[in-house]
């Protein structure tokens, strides 16, 4: 049933994408994340340069603004349910966008959320619905999609850590099921993007390459050739780290109390305790090898999608 639902969602998204009307004066670059791939860092770089970008007819919207204005929740309520969107709903969503120029819309929660990994059978199953929503809301805009991926071992544990920050304690063993997580694949996620949108409108990169490709990525995302002004406004330190091993253990000491008291969003003892790491050496090696194999496959099949060092 889930497979059929996912297939139908992808088919609907593809039809919506290909039904685009005459081009408008608005271009939208949608930064989808993924979660725990330095999305907050990139959002801060863009937000710190918002005035410089606005002078060049580039508007930036990051999660803090989108969620405070109710845009993200309105979008998900409109398109993640089976009901057809109303004109009032669409107009509300459109009212947040500029009329022309480039709009950089950065919101990883269009994919879903880290805690959903605890029960879903595919990685980001709501992605097709969000793609339908973007094209339905902005039928004449030029839309390009930006997505980062990360090694499965680091991605899974970081998503678990993020779930603890916002939803309270849950043992890792209840979050991670090896057989189910084995189905989670960046090949599948990128494949769903390609089944909906043309390859020329998709930009992907490895989180592990960010330091080397940051300028190239910012040039693509902003369409500016000179991004030195943005690079000069980068945050000076990491904005959020994985919970430490000590913090996770402390939460687990009293699970019943922690279940109703989410972890601090800005832990301050990570520097004195190693980051939480649930993997044995063989598990980590297996997950990293699967990631490397998937990326090799994707790069071989779709080389033009990737922003890579030296390009």
Question: DSSP string spanning 143-179?
Answer: EEEEEEE--HHHHHHHHHHHHHHHH----HHHH--HH
- Is residue 305 within 8 A of residue 190, CB to CB? The reply is yes
Among 152, 141, 145, smallest CA distance to 193 is for 145
Q: What region, left, alpha or beta, does residue 169 occupy, with left being phi > 0 and alpha being psi -120 to 50 degrees?
A: beta
Cα–Cα distance measured from residue 269 to residue 250, given in angstroms and rounded to the nearest whole number: 12
- Sequence-distant (6+) residues with CB within 8 A of 221 are 29, 31, 42, 46, 104, 146, 203
Nearest-angstrom CA–CA distance, 208 and 38? 10
Q: Is the pTM of this model over 0.85?
A: yes
Instruction: Tell me the two tokens of residue 64.
Output: 């803090």
Q: How many CB atoms lie within 10 A of CB 127?
A: 24
User: What pLDDT, on a 0 to 100 scale, did the predictor assign at position 167?
Assistant: 85
Cα separation, 131 vs 144, whole angstroms: 11
* Residue 267 pLDDT: 45
Determine the Cα–Cα distance for residues 47 and 98; give it in Å rounded to an integer: 16
Which token pair is 21? 């009307």
pLDDT per residue, tens digit, the chain (311 aa), is 545 555 455 555 555 555 545 557 999 999 999 999 999 999 999 999 999 999 999 999 999 999 999 999 999 999 998 889 999 999 999 999 999 999 999 999 999 999 999 999 999 999 999 999 999 999 999 999 999 999 999 999 999 999 998 888 889 999 999 999 999 999 999 999 999 999 999 999 999 999 999 999 999 999 999 999 999 999 876 566 788 888 888 888 755 554 455 555 444 444 567 889 999 999 999 999 999 999 999 999 999 999 999 87
Domains in the chain, start-ordered, CATH in brackets? 2-155+184-237 (3.40.50)
Predicted pLDDT of residue 258: 43
Instruction: With beta carbons less than 8 A apart as the criterion, state whether 241 and 275 touch.
Output: yes
Nearest to 195 by CA among 30, 33, 13: 13
**What is the pLDDT, as a whole number, of residue 268?**
45
Q: Which two tokens stand for residue 164?
A: 């603890």
């Amino acid at each position: 049933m889930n497979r059929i639902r996912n297939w139908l969602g992808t088919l609907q998204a593809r039809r919506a994408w290909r039904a685009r009307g005459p081009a408008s004066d608005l271009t939208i670059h949608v930064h989808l994340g993924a979660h725990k791939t330095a999305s907050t860092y990139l959002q801060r770089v863009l937000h710190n340069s918002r005035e410089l970008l606005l002078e060049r007819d580039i508007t930036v919207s990051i999660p803090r603004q989108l969620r405070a204005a109710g845009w993200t929740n309105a979008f998900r309520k409109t398109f993640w349910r089976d009901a057809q969107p109303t004109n009032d709903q669409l107009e509300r969503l459109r009212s947040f966008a500029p009329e022309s120029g480039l709009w950089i819309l950065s919101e990883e929660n269009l994919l879903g959320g880290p805690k959903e990994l605890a029960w879903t059978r595919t990685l980001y199953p709501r992605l097709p619905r969000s793609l339908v929503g973007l094209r339905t809301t902005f039928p004449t805009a030029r839309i390009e999609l930006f997505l980062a991926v990360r090694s499965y071992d680091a991605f899974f544990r970081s998503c678990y850590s993020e779930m603890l920050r916002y939803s309270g304690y849950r043992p890792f063993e209840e979050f991670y099921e090896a057989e189910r997580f084995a189905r989670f694949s960046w090949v599948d996620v990128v494949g769903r993007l390609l089944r909906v949108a043309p390859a020329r409108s998709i930009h992907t990169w490895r989180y592990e390459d960010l330091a080397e490709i940051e300028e190239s990525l910012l040039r693509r995302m902003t369409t500016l050739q000179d991004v030195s002004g943005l690079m000069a406004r980068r945050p000076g330190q990491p904005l959020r780290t994985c919970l430490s091993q000590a913090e996770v253990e402390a939460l687990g000491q009293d699970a019943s109390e922690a279940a109703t008291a989410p972890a601090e969003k800005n832990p301050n003892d990570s520097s004195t305790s190693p980051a939480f790491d649930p993997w044995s050496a063989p598990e980590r090696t297996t997950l990293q090898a699967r990631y490397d194999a998937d990326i090799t496959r994707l790069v071989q099949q779709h080389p033009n999608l990737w922003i890579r060092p030296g390009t």
